[in-house]
Amino acid sequence: MINLSPATFCFTILNIIIMFVFLKIFVFQKVMDVINEREKRIQKQFTDAQTAQEEAESLKVQYGEALSNAREEAESLVTKAKENAEKERAKILADTRVESEQLIEKAKENIKAEQKKAQIEAQAEIAKLAISAARKIIKTGEKSDAGSN
């Protein structure tokens, strides 16, 4: 069995108390300081991370809105471009229609003028032929009158 004397017991208790005080003053305090410092650093990093995450969320929302606005603007520009192209197409078609109608009208006028000119030339030719035929008839009539006399 263990043989404990009161003096050894008191000395052991005194050693434990002295060791505890020594450890508390020199070791535990430094360890606690290191732990507290580390806890502060971790808390600061956590706070910084939360701040960064909030900023990232804010930027994400801003970028989302900007992207949405850009899409809307792009759609608006495309719609306007389509409308302008359609207007331009309609204008070109109308101009082309007017121009073709004018060309057709001009061609009709040219055809009428050519027909009238051809008719006049034909009438002149017919008149020449009629005069020539009349002269021949008159000449043959004179020859036959001269031969019968």
The tokens for 104 are 């057709």
Q: What is the pLDDT of residue 3?
A: 74
**Is a pLDDT exceeding 70 seen at residue 149?**
no
The tokens for 93 are 């078609």
* Stated pTM of the model: 0.45
In tens, the pLDDT along 24-80 reads 888 888 888 899 999 999 999 999 999 999 999 999 999 999 999 999 999 999 999
The tokens for 68 are 């949405």
* Residue 100, phi-psi category: left (phi > 0), alpha (psi -120 to 50), beta (remainder): alpha
**Is a pLDDT exceeding 60 seen at residue 1?**
no
Q: Which residue has the tokens 């060309």?
A: 103
CA 14 to chain centre: 87
Residue 76 and residue 126: Cα distance in Å, rounded? 73
**What's at 51, amino acid-wise?**
T
Phi, psi of 4 (to 5 degrees): -110, 130
Residue 108 and residue 103: Cα distance in Å, rounded? 8
In tens, the pLDDT along 72-119 reads 999 999 999 999 999 999 999 999 999 999 999 999 999 999 999 999
